[in-house]
Amino acid sequence: MQEMERAAASLKAARNIVFFTGAGISAESGIPTFRDELTGLWSKQDPQQLETAKAFRENPALVWGFYLWRRNQAKQARPNAAHLSIQRLAASGRNVAVVTQNIDDLHERAGSIDVVHLHGSLKKPKCFACARSTDLEPNQYALPEHSMEREPPRCVRCNGRLRPSVLWFGEDLPVGIWKAAMAKVGGCDVLVSVGTSGIVTPAADIPEIALTSGATVIHVNLVDVSLGANKELMVIGKATQALPALLQAGFSI
């Protein structure tokens, strides 16, 4: 039996399914991965040098401008066939959850409800000082034309600068978020890892944690990222093609 058929059979037999998604699934919606070079005004910037608390302290206007630019990219993107396939499987009555490293909210925009964001979200900011989450007016998300900088708005509670509600390099994953993810991963029958690089920890450990808990792990990626375990299946291909094909083979949806 070929890997696609075996993967479809595993999905069909599963009661609890978790999709673990990384940058690869959103790349097909036009959102660059963290390994991609920046473009336009940002082409000479290194994103890893901007995605830190230290960078925000030193130049908050530049970092805030960078995330306004990223937020606009995400807003213009649309959920693709892979995002929509996950939602269709959940809508068919299966117990489906999503654990994602992505900050773009494309899963929710595709209709997924049970989503754990390991690395936060661009949806709304929080205070750098007191961590209070807040909503902004649409005009406060606008970046002036031909500009890379905009001074961050201030917190109405403590007057601290607002920052993106995302996990920066050097920051710890929130304990509550990790526990929520582990509850889903530890209780699943099948984990489908889609477009993950296996580089950023502790998220990179999730497939191995699922295997240790007895789940079957299906990797969907452009390259072989499997660990060589007995209950692993590797489906090589684009997420927008492989996930619809999996659901068609397993459930005819």
119 is catalytic: yes
Laid out side by side, the sheet with 16-21 consists of 115-117, 95-100, 16-21, 190-194, 216-221, 232-236
Token digits of residue 194: 């889609």
**Three-state SS at 220:** strand
Residue with token string 């937020």:
71
**Composition of the chain by helix, strand, coil, percent to 5:** 40, 20, 40
**Three-state SS at 80:** coil
What residues does 232 pair with on adjacent strands?
217
Find, among 246, 214, 250, the residue nearest to 232 by Cα.
Answer: 214
Residue 179, burial from CB neighbour count under 10 angstroms (0-12, 13-18, 19+): exposed
The enclosing H or E element of 12 equals helix 3-13
Q: Helix 81-91 and helix 239-251: axis angle, to 10°?
A: 30
Token digits of residue 246: 């999996």
What is the full DSSP assignment across 131-196? Answer: --B----GGGG---TT----PPPB-TTT-PBEEEEEPPTTPPPPHHHHHHHHHHHHT-SEEEEES-
83, 107, 119, 219: which one is catalytic?
119
Which residues are designated catalytic? 119
